[in-house]
């Protein structure tokens, strides 16, 4: 028979008391079933065919920039919730996005040079 949570806590308290430690452990666990469903999104931006890896808000949150696993970048208007521009700057996954000034965008990707990879057996 397994000890109850309270038995374990009592043992910890007792051991700490014997060692002269001022440590009091408490456990307040409630196993509630959620009465409500999780909140639903107010809007879903649909424009990528692959998983989105990076997200960046621009221009006081008026623009949203997203990059995906296939190298596509989408610039969204958050007011109209529509794509303003779509382009593919890389053939590999976009791992990060950043702004450079007010009018430039930086995309981060991982490039692996096949000739640098050493095959081991």
Say which residue, 20 or 55, is predicted with more confidence: 55
Tokens of 75: 């610039």
Tokens of 71: 């190298």
Q: How far is CA 36 from CA 31, 40, 43, 50, in A?
A: 15, 11, 20, 31
Q: Give this prediction's pTM.
A: 0.63
| Cβ pair 4, 29 in contact under 8 A | no
Taking residues 52-79, what's their average pLDDT? 96
Domain boundaries, the chain: 1-28, 52-114
The pLDDT confidence band at residue 115, using thresholds 50, 70 and 90, is low
State residue 21's pLDDT score.
61
Q: How does pLDDT run across 80-100, given as a tens digit for each residue? A: 999 999 999 999 999 999 999
Q: Which CATH architecture has domain 52-114?
A: Beta Barrel (2.40)
């Amino acid at each position: 028979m397994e000890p109850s949570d309270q038995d374990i806590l009592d043992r910890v308290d007792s051991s700490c008391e014997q060692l002269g430690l001022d440590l009091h452990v408490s456990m307040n666990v409630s196993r509630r079933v959620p009465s409500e469903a999780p909140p639903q999104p107010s809007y879903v931006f649909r424009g990528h065919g692959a998983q989105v890896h990076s997200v960046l808000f621009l221009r006081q949150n008026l623009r949203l920039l997203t990059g995906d696993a296939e190298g596509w970048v989408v610039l969204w208007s958050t007011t109209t919730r529509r794509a303003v521009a779509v382009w593919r700057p890389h053939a590999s996954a976009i791992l990060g996005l950043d702004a450079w000034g007010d009018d430039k965008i930086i995309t981060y990707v991982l490039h692996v040079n096949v000739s640098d990879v050493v095959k081991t057996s």
